[in-house]
Amino acid sequence: MSAPPPASSSLSERAVLAALALWSLVPPAILFVSVGGGLDVGTGGRTFLGVDGPDVADQLQYIAWIRDAGENGTFANRFDLADDPYLFFHPMFFLSGVLWKLGVSLPLSFLAWKPVAVLGLFAGFAAYVRRMVEPGWPRVAALLLALFFFTPAAWVLDWGGLGSESLRFETLVVALEMFPGGWVWGLWPLAVSVALMPVYLLCLEGLLEPERRRPGRSTVWYGAGAAAAGLACSWLHPWQGVTLLVLTAGLVVWARLWRRAAALTVPLAATAAPIAYYFALSQTDSSWAEVSSHSGHPHWGLWLALGVAPALALAAVGAPGRTWDLQERALRLWPLAALAVYFILQTAWFYHALAGLTLPLAILGVRGWRHLRIPRAAAVAAVAALTLPGMAFYVQQLREGSAAHFLPADETAALRAVEAGWRDGGVLTSVDLGQAVPAVTGRGTWVGHPTWTPGYGDRTHRAEALLSGRMDAVQARELVRSTGAAFVVAGCGRPDLEALLGPVVAARTRHGCAAVYEVAPRPGR
């Protein structure tokens, strides 16, 4: 292994860790200071849902999984009203579910992973940068870029009002997938999974190259470390596990590791096991089959070039002047493996394959700066330009969507009434409330999450037409009956639906500006 960094470098690394930790605290500062939200009903008049960043839908899905895990150990899809078996086990949210059952609130049991995400992401990235970059400012620059790079095209297009809406959206998607700093705002599985990728590669190096091992650490130690890192990486976020498998296969071919390939059996099997589990779910469960189907998004367009090209250009000059040992080959194969997974995957949210690319690309880029003898002041300016505007843009995204992190007191009371309702069954409501229904009530919702709700666009449109009173009575009653919902929840600002739904409603309760309509059982049931 490389020699420990000097004290000045260690001090710089601690400063980067402090910056990442402070950055992770921006959401609560905005939500509870600038916006003035309350933790529960009666404090600010709103209930905090526990969501820590702009990605509200995914984080409410995680909190719903925590609730399911606390009650059942495994999770079902609560964003549809069809019967769904409890088949999915996720170690991170299982542990949060245990915390919840022990009395910790759902938001806190979710947010408990924030320090883990911060420390894990920093430690994994710092260890790899320390291995691949010389001490001094290059190491600090590489670490900052790896953690905080935000593709400039996203904020340039948005702030400049340039391009089509589709171009801005797709470019933003790529930018967010390649922004590790955003993952410590509630995207814990992605943060920890990517943090484990360099751990896997460093352990693999120790397993295959004895001269790289630390004193007292054996083949078994490094093999077990690679296996544990690969297993957890795949289980927490399978796209990164697939990338590691492709990368390892590339190493075997490029470095001609055929005679040592047997040593990779356990790490590869451990990394592949969760992926096999996810594949089995997609073949045996309708919800997982839906999630694993083609997303309908394109793989290629101008937005991909705008999103990825700056990082690739940053790295293009980083190749010269190195001895190409195993880790040097891994460094160069990593981006190729990620892009291969991105283009090969035709199902699910293939954009996730881009996550983690900033680490190898930042290392190569900073090396290139040294090779070209770029002045330090210019390097500092480049790091600032490639990080700070994007971070400001991300903060703006949070501020603009801050209202979705809270439920008004009356809507909270309506969902609590549904939670306590004596009848089994799910909820028909608007998409914004539907996102929160599984987490708040433990019940299913007819529409809520854009990935986990079948026919999300059509259901969103039909639910909105019903709740805004734009359906006639026949259509409205037929829709409510067809969903199988036990409750219809109308949030604040909605018209009274009692007359429209007529005999479909068994009872109505008002909760301030919100209303809950209990659906009458079908005759004979």
DSSP string, 254-282: HTT-GGGGGGGHHHHHHHHHHHHHHHHHH
CA count, 13 A, side-chain hemisphere, 225: 20
Phi, psi values for residue 443, rounded to 5°: -105, 165
Check residue 204 and report its DSSP letter. Answer: H
Average pLDDT, rounded, for the chain: 90
Confidence of residue 157 (pLDDT cuts 50, 70, 90): very high
CA 495/CA 490 separation, integer angstroms: 8
Asked if the model's pLDDT at residue 317 lies above 70, the reply is no
Confidence of residue 258 (pLDDT cuts 50, 70, 90): confident
pLDDT at 315: 73
pLDDT at 35: 52
Smallest Cα–Cα separation from 389: which of 137, 151, 146, 162?
Answer: 151
Q: What is the mean pLDDT of residues 229-237?
A: 97
Q: Which residue has the higher pLDDT, 524 or 488?
A: 488
Smallest Cα–Cα separation from 305: which of 167, 112, 143, 456?
Answer: 167
Residues 6+ away with beta carbon under 8 Å from 67:
97, 100, 106, 438, 439, 442
Say if strands 406-408 and 46-48 run parallel, antiparallel, or are unpaired. Answer: antiparallel
For 418-457, how does the pLDDT look when each residue is reduced to its tens digit (9 = 90+)? 999 888 999 999 999 999 999 999 999 999 999 899 999 9
Confidence of residue 469 (pLDDT cuts 50, 70, 90): very high
Asked if the model's pLDDT at residue 179 lies above 80, the reply is yes
Confidence of residue 5 (pLDDT cuts 50, 70, 90): very low
Asked if the model's pLDDT at residue 6 lies above 90, the reply is no
* 41, 47 Cβ separation under 8 angstroms: yes
pLDDT at 206: 94
CA distance to 154, 229, 302, 351, per residue, from 299 (Å): 17, 29, 10, 8
CA 496/CA 153 separation, integer angstroms: 46
Least trusted range by pLDDT, from 43-47, 480-484, 514-518:
43-47
pLDDT at 275: 96
Residues 6+ away with beta carbon under 8 Å from 253:
none
Q: What is the mean pLDDT of residues 12-25?
A: 96
Confidence of residue 136 (pLDDT cuts 50, 70, 90): confident
For 398-422, how does the pLDDT look when each residue is reduced to its tens digit (9 = 90+)? 999 888 899 999 999 999 999 998 8
CB count in 10 Å sphere of residue 413:
19
Handedness of CA 512, 515, 516, 522 (dihedral sign): positive
Asked if the model's pLDDT at residue 268 lies above 90, the reply is yes
Cα 243 to its chain centre, rounded Å, is 16
Tokens encoding 329: 């080959």
Calculate ∠ Cα 210-211-217, nearest 5°: 55
* 453, 447 Cβ separation under 8 angstroms: yes
Helix (H, G, I), strand (E, B) or coil at 88: strand
Q: Which of 4-8, 439-443, 518-522 has the highest mean pLDDT?
A: 439-443
Confidence of residue 308 (pLDDT cuts 50, 70, 90): confident
Confidence of residue 1 (pLDDT cuts 50, 70, 90): very low
Least trusted range by pLDDT, from 1-10, 21-30, 149-158, 267-276:
1-10
pLDDT at 525: 53
Tokens encoding 399: 């501020």
What pTM value is reported for the model? 0.92
Q: What is the mean pLDDT of residues 214-231?
A: 94
Asked if the model's pLDDT at residue 72 lies above 70, the reply is yes
Q: What is the mean pLDDT of residues 60-73?
A: 95
Confidence of residue 322 (pLDDT cuts 50, 70, 90): low
**For the chain, percent of residues with pLDDT exceeding 70:** 93
Q: What is the mean pLDDT of residues 488-514?
A: 95
CA 161/CA 158 separation, integer angstroms: 5
pLDDT at 202: 97
pLDDT at 41: 36
Asked if the model's pLDDT at residue 186 lies above 70, the reply is yes
Confidence of residue 318 (pLDDT cuts 50, 70, 90): low
pLDDT at 21: 97
**For the chain, percent of residues with pLDDT exceeding 90:** 71
- Residue 511 pairs with which residues in a beta bridge? 514
pLDDT at 309: 81
